[in-house]
């Protein structure tokens, strides 16, 4: 009898627990339904975009915010964990990617020199000694650097259209030229007294060995540039529209009038004690207060109109006082793609000869 009562009490306890579980489940379902209902009513009251255009605008803003956050993230050294590049010399180190299939041993264990067609032991490829007359057996060392045609291709390549390639004279010189450090397999070091301390002369990755694998940063840098060029090209269309019906003698303002917006543009730039006023299609002035300003150049003439991607405008007939031989000062303005018109650098390359680097959507 006692055993029977004990079993009965156990069953009642299980029943009570089951009922409590059902009640809790129903309560959660009702609560979730209310939350969803409030969300649906909020959508109806316009809390969320109701039209396709609004949705696209909302997405565009979100993407812009994400890009902004992404840029901050990749620009923060705190967020990065850089790893030392693990580099070793192989038979294909330094070989152009499209030629790697040629760097294999034949059935007799021989390598065929690419141009002269000589045969050398495959074990002599990248052994730091020049065996082929065409230097093709040493793509990854500096052994054949006397041949000015030899090139070292970094093991990591972003794209074949823009290969990461250096002269073999820079292999194992203690300076990281490749983002993956593949050019510094010999563990060379630059003496501390020979290192460049000016950060303006250094690239975005660490210059000196030991090298870090920073190819992700290089890829991101190229992506940012592609995004900038795409935006610059979009803005360029507005420049073309602006100059479409404007006078353009001898295509002075570009084939489609894209430079006309710069026709009356003047930008100020400061370098040390000097103040400059740069009007690309008018003149360039230099001022050191309280002295009178000097004209560095006027009378703009195109030197290069996009040849090999270079746009250069020379302003001649500047003031000639204190210039050697009484020559006139002159300025060469070099234009690069950018999302706005700005002067990024100005320097005097030699006495009375100046160079200005500008960014503008007009050349994108």
C-alpha to C-alpha distance for 288 and 323, rounded to whole angstroms: 17
C-alpha to C-alpha distance for 87 and 178, rounded to whole angstroms: 11
Bridge partners for 350 per DSSP = 353
* In the chain, alpha helices (H): 2-44, 52-75, 215-243
3-state percent helix, strand, coil for the chain, nearest multiple of 5: 35, 20, 40
296 DSSP 8-state letter: E
Determine the CATH number of domain 260-363: 2.70.130.10
Query: How would you write the pLDDT of the chain (364 residues) with one tens digit per residue?
Result: 444 334 434 445 445 454 554 544 444 444 333 333 333 333 333 332 333 344 345 434 444 544 554 454 444 443 445 567 778 899 999 999 999 999 999 999 999 999 999 999 999 999 999 999 999 999 999 999 999 999 999 998 877 667 889 999 999 999 999 989 999 999 899 888 777 765 555 555 557 898 988 888 888 888 898 899 999 999 999 999 999 999 999 999 999 999 999 999 999 999 988 999 999 999 999 998 888 899 999 999 999 998 888 899 999 999 999 999 999 999 999 999 999 999 999 999 999 999 999 999 999 9
- Closest to 301 (Cα-Cα) out of 240, 250, 247: 250
The torsion defined by the Cα of 161, 162, 163 and 168, in degrees rounded to 10, comes to 130
Query: What ranges do the domains of the chain cover?
Result: 83-213, 260-363
C-alpha to C-alpha distance for 110 and 244, rounded to whole angstroms: 64
List, in order, residues 6 or more apart from 280 with CB less than 8 Å away.
262, 265, 300, 313, 315, 333, 358
C-alpha to C-alpha distance for 156 and 163, rounded to whole angstroms: 9
Tell me the whole-structure pTM to 2 decimals: 0.59
């Amino acid at each position: 009898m006692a055993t029977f009562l004990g079993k009965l009490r156990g069953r009642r306890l299980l029943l009570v627990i089951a009922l409590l579980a059902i009640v809790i489940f129903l309560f959660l379902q009702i609560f979730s339904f209310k939350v969803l209902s409030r969300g649906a009513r909020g959508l109806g009251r316009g809390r969320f975009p109701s039209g396709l255009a609004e949705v696209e605008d909302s997405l565009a803003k979100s993407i812009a915010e994400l890009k902004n956050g992404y840029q901050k993230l990749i620009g923060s050294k705190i967020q990065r964990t850089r790893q030392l590049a693990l580099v070793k010399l192989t038979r294909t180190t330094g070989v152009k990617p499209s030629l790697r299939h040629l760097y294999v041993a034949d059935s007799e264990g021989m390598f065929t020199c690419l141009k002269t067609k000589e045969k050398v032991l495959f074990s002599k490829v990248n052994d730091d000694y020049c065996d082929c007359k065409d230097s093709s057996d040493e793509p990854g060392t500096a052994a054949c650097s006397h041949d000015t045609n030899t090139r070292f291709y970094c093991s990591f390549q972003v794209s074949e259209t823009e290969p990461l390639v250096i002269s073999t004279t820079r292999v194992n010189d203690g300076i990281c030229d490749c983002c993956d450090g593949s050019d510094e397999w010999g563990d060379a070091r630059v003496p501390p007294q020979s290192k460049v301390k000016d950060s303006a002369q250094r690239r975005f990755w660490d210059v000196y060995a030991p090298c870090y694998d920073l190819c992700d940063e290089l890829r991101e840098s190229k992506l940012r540039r592609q995004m900038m060029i795409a935006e610059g090209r979009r803005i360029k269309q507005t420049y073309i529209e602006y100059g479409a019906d404007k006078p353009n003698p001898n295509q002075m303002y570009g084939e489609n009038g894209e430079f006309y917006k710069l026709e009356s543009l003047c930008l100020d730039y400061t370098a040390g004690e000097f103040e400059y006023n740069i009007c690309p299609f008018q003149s360039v002035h230099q001022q050191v207060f309280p002295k009178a300003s000097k004209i560095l150049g006027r009378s703009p003439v195109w030197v290069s109109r996009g040849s090999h991607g270079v746009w250069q405008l020379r302003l001649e007939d500047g003031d000639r006082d204190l210039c050697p031989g009484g020559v006139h000062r002159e300025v060469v303005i070099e234009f690069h793609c950018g999302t706005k018109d700005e002067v990024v650098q100005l320097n005097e390359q030699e006495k009375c000869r100046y160079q200005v680097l500008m960014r503008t959507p007009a050349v994108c």
